Chain A
């Protein structure tokens, strides 16, 4: 499915094929266009999802970019629209505009180590990049996935993380902020995992997604280890309306996050993050 600019303002009806409850407040939907056809996107892009009669929100695509038959989104219910989305059931319709935004630079990272640093639901926008990296595993040096969650019960895509960790060619490290009795893994912030390394900083591309504060400290930790700020990428979130660079709602300094982002290099993002209230 490919849209021109005019079309890009009109939501296309998609049928909800599957809903999976991932965590107490987070769910994954699998969608198919009601009119049939495929949906192509690049890892890191997002769609505007319209819950009819309630509102529209930007949500990253969390599925496999190599699989165009189904569109996958993972959403945390935090407010009016995302909660209403969480109430939708299989067979119901949701409006989709997209895909929008600049993707993760997975192909540009070929030839270097790829370090993925995710926090909380931030693993969802990074999962397509992990799928893409795994599909091209021989084109990278080390592939390292570092993930931080609140508790062991809040680990998103747990089975997949375990599966990836079981491979001999991926290093997966998970840490939680608060340990419960059953947890025997790492405790502490995800930046600690960055500090412990396991990659060659001089030849590393890092993709970081999570709460803004976490991204800030993770990017700083990567740079401190010697990764170039131009090789660290973060995915920014700002409130959006049009999603295509018309309305200015998502303006962030000189950028429109929907069009110039959401993926920015740390070189671009860090001076703006240093400006309060931007």
Chain B
């Protein structure tokens, strides 16, 4: 059984928590749990209720979209990455599958628990969103570059 102190320390080591003040960390630790996924195991499935998000401590996760010809891998995440922001949208529904491609250890956060705390304390809500937004912006930006097919045939890019 992982103690709160241990969880707090583990969260602290993750880039998501860098510079986080003690009050905020104490609040979010109360919604956190340690989880592990074996290679091949799904962490979340498209269409499912987005009631969590995850900080990847170690391992590798493939984000996939199911298609008639099989799963299409659109991105991989690994140590230090954050997985899942659909819990912030309405309705909170996962838009991808996420599958561990090797043994993966994560800290998961109960979105209902966190949402309740964010509603009760808008300053906390703001702080959490402030940490999510740059990551979301970075991912959208990366997805756009990926779509450009930079290395494909055609005129010089």
Which A residues fall within an 8 A CB radius of B?
Answer: 25, 78, 119-121, 148-150, 154, 175, 177, 179, 181, 183-189, 191-192, 195-196, 210-214, 217, 237
Contact B151 A154 (CB under 8 A): yes
Main secondary structure of the interface of A (DSSP, over half): mixed
Contact A119 B73 (CB under 8 A): no
Enumerate B100-157 residues with CB–CB distance to A below 8 Å.
101, 138, 142, 145-146, 148-153, 156-157
Can you give 12 A-B contacts (C-beta < 8 A)?
A183-B73, A185-B76, A188-B75, A189-B142, A192-B142, A196-B79, A196-B80, A210-B150, A211-B156, A212-B157, A213-B148, A214-B150
Q: Which residues of A contact B27 (CB under 8 A)?
A: none
Chain B residue nearest to A224 (CB atoms) is B138
Which B residues fall within an 8 A CB radius of A?
Answer: 62, 70, 72-76, 78-80, 101, 138, 142, 145-146, 148-153, 156-157
Chain B residue nearest to A185 (CB atoms) is B76
Q: Which residues of A contact B73 (CB under 8 A)?
A: 179, 183, 187
Contact A211 B145 (CB under 8 A): no
Q: Which residues of A contact B142 (CB under 8 A)?
A: 188-189, 191-192
Given contacts A120-B151, A210-B150, contact A179 B145 (CB under 8 A): no
Contact A149 B79 (CB under 8 A): no
In the bound assembly, the distance between CA atoms of A185 and B156 in angstroms comes to 27
Known: A150-B149, A188-B146, A210-B150. 13 other contacts (CB 8 A): A25-B153, A121-B151, A150-B150, A179-B73, A183-B73, A185-B76, A186-B76, A187-B75, A210-B151, A211-B157, A213-B145, A213-B148, A213-B150
Chain A residue nearest to B70 (CB atoms) is A181
Nearest-Cβ distance from residue B87 to partner chain A, whole angstroms: 22
Pick the contact of A150 from B80, B145, B151, B156 — CB < 8 Å?
B151
4 pairs of A and B residues whose beta carbons are closest in the complex: A120-B151, A179-B73, A150-B151, A211-B157
Given contacts A188-B146, A191-B145, A192-B142, contact A148 B151 (CB under 8 A): yes
Chain B residue nearest to A188 (CB atoms) is B75
Q: Which residues of B contact A185 (CB under 8 A)?
A: 76
Q: Which residues of B contact A196 (CB under 8 A)?
A: 78-80
Contact B76 A119 (CB under 8 A): no
Chain B residue nearest to A195 (CB atoms) is B138
In the bound assembly, the distance between CA atoms of A206 and B130 in angstroms comes to 30
Contact B62 A149 (CB under 8 A): no
Contact A177 B146 (CB under 8 A): yes
Pick the contact of B156 from A25, A187, A217, A237 — CB < 8 Å?
A237
Chain A residue nearest to B155 (CB atoms) is A78
In the bound assembly, the distance between CA atoms of A188 and B62 in angstroms comes to 10
Contact A189 B151 (CB under 8 A): no
Q: Which residues of A contact B149 (CB under 8 A)?
A: 150, 177
Contact B80 A213 (CB under 8 A): no
Nearest-Cβ distance from residue A98 to partner chain B, whole angstroms: 21
Q: Which residues of B contact A177 (CB under 8 A)?
A: 146, 149-151
Contact B62 A187 (CB under 8 A): yes
In the bound assembly, the distance between CA atoms of A185 and B75 in angstroms comes to 10
Contact A188 B76 (CB under 8 A): yes
Pick the contact of A120 from B62, B138, B145, B150 — CB < 8 Å?
B150
- Looking at A78, A119, A187, which has the most chain B CB atoms within 10 Å of its CB? A187
Given contacts A177-B151, A188-B76, contact A213 B70 (CB under 8 A): no
Chain B residue nearest to A180 (CB atoms) is B73
